[in-house]
Amino acid sequence: MDNIKIDPETSCWEWQKHKNRKGYGKIRAFRKTLSAHRLSYTLFTRADRTTDIPEGAVIMHDCDNPGCVNPTHLTAGTQLDNVADMVAKGRQATGQRHGSFKPGKQAVWLMCFLLGQGRTHEQVAEELGMSVAVVIRETTRGFTGP
C-alpha cells in the first residue's frame, strides 16, 4: 500500500497522502472526505468489536500519532474516554502500579467501560498501567455502589 509507510520502531502506519492541519490523515471516498484513521478502524477492527463506531465517538490513538492508521493502535471511545485516556497516561508516567493507589472517578469509569467491552481485568490493568488488584477492587466497588 503506497498510501502508508510503516515505521519499524513504533509499528505506526504513517498516512502518506493528504493530511489536515492537525496531522490527521484524510481520504476522499464516497464523495466525502473521511478521516483515514476512522476508516481504518472501521475496515480492520469491526470484525472483533461488538459495534461500529458509536454515534459521536472519537477514535483515539494509543500511540498519540495523529497520522497513524494502524488499526491496532486505534481505540473507539467518547470524549470522556479521551480525557480519561490522558489521565491514565499521566498516571502511567508517574508509575503508580502499587496496590494502595486510589484511581480517580474517570479512571474507574474507564475500567468499567473496558470490562464492558469484553476485556479481562488483566488486560484493563495492562492498558491503564495499574495493578490487577486495583482494577478488581475499584470495578467491584463501582458495580455494587459506593
* Residues in touch with Zn ion (CB under 5 A): 12, 63, 65, 68, 70, 73
Instruction: Supply the minimum distance, in Å, between the C-beta of residue 12 and Zn ion.
Output: 3
For Zn ion, which is the closer residue by CB, 70 or 75?
70
Q: How far is the CB of 71 from Zn ion (least distance, A)?
A: 10
- The angle formed by the CA atoms of residues 13, 126 and 46, to the nearest 5 degrees, is 45
Shorter beta-carbon distance to Zn ion: residue 25 or 103: 25
Q: What is the DSSP string of 4-56?
A: EEE-TTT--EEE-S-B-TTS-BEEEETTEEEEHHHHHHHHHHGGGSSSSSPTT
Angle between helices 105-116 and 79-94 (to 10 degrees): 110
CB of 39 to Zn ion, least distance (A): 15
When the beta carbons of 6 and 99 are compared against Zn ion, the nearer one is 6
Output the smallest distance, CB 141 to Zn ion, in A: 34
Residue 112: which residues within 8 A CB-CB, separation 6 or more?
139, 142, 143
Would you say 24 or 111 has its CB closer to Zn ion? 24
